[in-house]
Amino acid sequence: MTAESPVRQAASSLASKWSSLVGVHPGNTFAMLVKPAPPAPPQPQPPASIVGAPFSPDVAPAPDATPSATPPSAAPVIAAPGPMLTRDVVYNKPTTVTFNEPTPVQVIINVTREAVAESFDNLPGAVKTHAISISPDMTAELTGPAERVRIQLRPGFPAWQKANGANPTWIWDVTALAPGTARLDLAIKARIEGSGAEQVVRTYHDAIPVTMPLVDSVKWWIAQIDPIWKWLIGVFTVLGGAIVWWLTNIMRRKPST
């Protein structure tokens, strides 16, 4: 048997001591020191995308493909709740209003899509048309400063009107009360019923500035001065009568020569 060298004996002794400390066979010492890298953690996968059309508040829900048993009519019938229809509102915009003489303002919601231009032939101002959203119940309001204009809705034109199969129409008489420019505000509102609650929404608004003509302004000033002149004439009449009575009594009492 070949005797081991002192260096080899020292290395064997050191390996035996290391294995007794860590509990590893001397031949596996290098394998313990060089460990394989831990596996990489799994990467999170992106969620699956939902394919579909993007939502747009301007796009109305698609109608039911099932054919309706009710035959279509010339005038559309609006069902509520549901998407609102779009129709034209037509009205005249006068630029002047006269003193003590009414100026008409007419508003028509053209539900039937028939020609309504002839209804404005004899009305003052330009005729304006604008698309609005409508519901089965519609109302129109015309307001202005009470100190400058008087606005009266003509009899026979209810404030709230049905928009099913007919054209809601309103006519106001506007009278100037004072010189200057007044702003008239036209508002179109729809009544919507849904989810057990009733809601009134404004679907259109426009401003109509009107001015009293110069001739009517002069009439207004005369009307303001007229009561003062009447009062002064009354005062002068009373004073003149008193003076005449006083002078008459003086002449009667004067002695004759």
What is the tens place of the pLDDT at every residue in 215-250?
A: 888 887 777 776 666 666 667 777 777 787 777 777
Nearest to 15 by CA among 7, 6, 5, 27: 27
The model's pTM? 0.57
In this prediction, residue 134 carries a pLDDT of: 93
Confidence of residue 194 (pLDDT cuts 50, 70, 90): low
In this prediction, residue 141 carries a pLDDT of: 97
Neighbours of 133 (CB within 10 A): 15
Strand ranges of the sheet holding 126-134, from the earlier edge strand across to the other edge = 126-134, 85-93, 103-110, 169-176, 149-153
Which tokens is 104 given? 């008409």
User: Which distant-in-sequence residues (6+ apart) come within 8 Å of 166 by Cβ?
Assistant: 75, 111, 112
In this prediction, residue 162 carries a pLDDT of: 93
User: Which strand (E) or helix (H) includes residue 243?
Assistant: helix 214-253
In this prediction, residue 237 carries a pLDDT of: 76
Q: What percent of the chain has pLDDT over 70?
A: 61
Fold exhibited by the domain 85-212 = Immunoglobulin-like (2.60.40)
Q: What is the pLDDT of residues 124-151, one digit of tens each?
A: 999 999 999 999 999 999 999 999 999 9
In this prediction, residue 1 carries a pLDDT of: 46
